[in-house]
Amino acid sequence: MTFELTVLGSSSALPTSTKFPAAQVLNAHERFFLIDCGEGTQIQLRKAKVKFGRMNHIFISHLHGDHVFGLFGLLSTLNLLGRKTTMHIFGHSDLKYIIAFYLEHFAPENSYEIEIHPVVKRQLQLIFENKAIEVFAFPLKHKVPTFGYLFREKKRLLNIKKEVIEKYNPSIKQIVEIKKGADLITEKDEIVSNKELTIVPPKPRSFAYCSDTMVYEKITSYIKGVDLLYHEATFLECDTKLAKSTSHSTTVQAATIAKKAGVKKLLIGHFSTRYNSYEEFLPESRKIFRHTEAAEDLSVYTI
């Protein structure tokens, strides 16, 4: 089952000649979840060959332009393509005003419904789930209300061994029970233990998205042990004061959060355009947390 992240944009505030503003897409079992939508997102989606028809959910971290300026263009393109499926957008409640403005002035006859799901609570909360995945929102610490998102696979049922089906020919009801952990009672009243019948499925995978935020240790309990953490690292450690004044994080702060949360891998991004080179970002983070990667536009990270 596919579970991979594609970085569409890794710049903060401004697009550059090589980096787009914040946007990522998570492919979870061939369903695509867009996370933030900076300027040019739809261009990057096409380059990444994302199937628009399988993208029904957008998660916006906060209402700063570099995270939402791509929405109008993307929604307009979907309208021109004749989309019929509802688009679900999650984020701060003020999103409804932005979308209402778009619909009134640019798409009064929009071909599909846009449903806004306000994220309002200041604690970890389940905001979406289907058969395969759960999505949680949690608060970050920025100049405006900001949310991080945790994507987590649901625990799968046990897999029955093929030879078990051939040997015992269990009924559909028995198969369902075995998958849930039950033993098998044969026609001769023999008990076959579940361990002999099944194969343990892979451990559920997880991804957490944290942008934008100043260092905020409370989130370590929300993202504890995730397979991949994306955490903004807008500034180098030499600009710690600037990071604090703008409510952002440094390379070292992001790495420290990853270490304290016990995550398996850290992906840093949202790099400030004030730097002429980004070569120092990765070494600084790896001094604290060696399992760190620096986000590159259109790079794919398999979880």
Task: Judge whether 66 counts as a catalytic residue.
Answer: yes
Beta-bridge partners for 23: 9
Closest alpha carbon to 194 in 185, 207, 206, 202: 185
Distances (CA, A) of 218 to 61, 123, 141, 291: 17, 10, 10, 21
Q: How far is residue 285's CA from residue 22's CA, in Å, rounded to a whole number?
A: 20
Catalytic residue among 36, 66, 212, 227: 66
The catalytic site residues sit at 66
